[in-house]
Structure 1
Amino acid sequence: MVKSPINQISPALQFLILVAITIGTILIGNLIGVGIISAKYGLNVLFDITNLNFTAPGVTQALWILQIIGTTLPLFLAPVFFSWVIVKEPYAYLKPRTKFPLMLLIVAFFVMMVSSPLIEFLSNINQRMVLPHFLGGVEHWMKQSEESAQKVTVAILQMHSVWDAIKSVLLVGLLTAIAEEFLFRGAMQTIIKRWTNNAHAAVWITAILFSAFHMEFYGFLPRLLLGALFGYFVVWSGSIWPAVWGHFLNNGTAVVVTYLYQQKKISLNPDDTHTFNYASYAVSFIIVIILLLVYKNIAPVKKQSADFNGEELG
Structure 2
Amino acid sequence: MNTEKPYYNHNRAMSPAMQLVAFTGLTIGLLTLGTAIVFGYIYLRYGPAAVSQLASLNLASPVVLNNLWLLQVVGTTLPILFIPIVFGKLIMHEPEAYLRINTKFSALLILIVLATMAASMPFMESLITFNRKMVFPDSLKKLEKFVKESEASAQKVTAVLLKMNSWWDMIKALLLVGLATAIAEELMFRGCLQTILIRWQKNAHVGIWLTAILFSAFHMEFYGFLPRMALGVLFGYFTVWSGSIWPAVWAHFLNNGTAVVFAYIYGLNGDVKLDAKFDYILPLLSILFTVALLLGYRKVASRKTIAGSI
Answer whether TM exceeds 0.5 for this pair.
yes
- Tell whether 2:246 aligns with 1:252: no
Question: What per-residue deviation string (whole Å, max 9, x for no partner) do you get for residues 71-112 of structure 1?
Answer: 001011011101111111010111112410011011101111
- Cα distance in structure 1, aligned partners of 2:224 and 2:161: 19
Secondary structure (helix, strand or coil) at the match of 1:91 reads helix
| Equivalent position to 1:128, from 116, 124, 133 | 133
Question: What per-residue deviation string (whole Å, max 9, x for no partner) do you get for residues 136-177 of structure 1?
Answer: 222222112211211111111111111111000000000000
Other-structure match for 2:87: 82
Deviation at 1:116, TM superposition (A): 1.2
Secondary structure (helix, strand or coil) at the match of 2:11 reads helix
8 A Cα contact 2:113 2:247, kept in partner: yes
| Equivalent position to 2:104, from 99, 102, 118 | 99
Other-structure match for 1:151: 156
Deviation at 1:273, TM superposition (A): 5.3
8 A Cα contact 2:10 2:199, kept in partner: no
Letter aligned with residue 298 of structure 2: K
Other-structure match for 2:230: 225
C-alpha change, 1:43 and 1:112, in structure 2 (3 Å) is farther
Other-structure match for 1:309: none
Gapped runs of 5+ residues in structure 2? none
Gapped runs of 5+ residues in structure 1? 263-267, 304-313
- Tell whether 2:65 aligns with 1:60: yes
Other-structure match for 1:270: 270
Other-structure match for 1:310: none
Other-structure match for 2:219: 214
Choose 279-288 or 213-222, whichever is displaced more: 279-288
Letter aligned with residue 279 of structure 1: I
- Cα distance in structure 2, aligned partners of 1:4 and 1:283: 39
TM-align CA RMSD: 2.2
8 A Cα contact 2:241 2:301, kept in partner: yes
Letter aligned with residue 56 of structure 1: S
- Cα distance in structure 2, aligned partners of 1:55 and 1:159: 18
State the TM-score, normalizing by the size of structure 2: 0.90
**Identical amino acids, percent of aligned pairs:** 49
Other-structure match for 2:201: 196
8 A Cα contact 1:54 1:60, kept in partner: yes
Question: How many matched pairs?
Answer: 299
Other-structure match for 1:292: 294
| Equivalent position to 2:21, from 16, 22, 28 | 16
8 A Cα contact 1:96 1:239, kept in partner: yes
C-alpha change, 1:256 and 1:5, in structure 2 (3 Å) is closer
Letter aligned with residue 146 of structure 2: W
C-alpha change, 1:190 and 1:5, in structure 2 (3 Å) is closer
- Cα distance in structure 1, aligned partners of 2:57 and 2:49: 12
- Tell whether 2:210 aligns with 1:205: yes
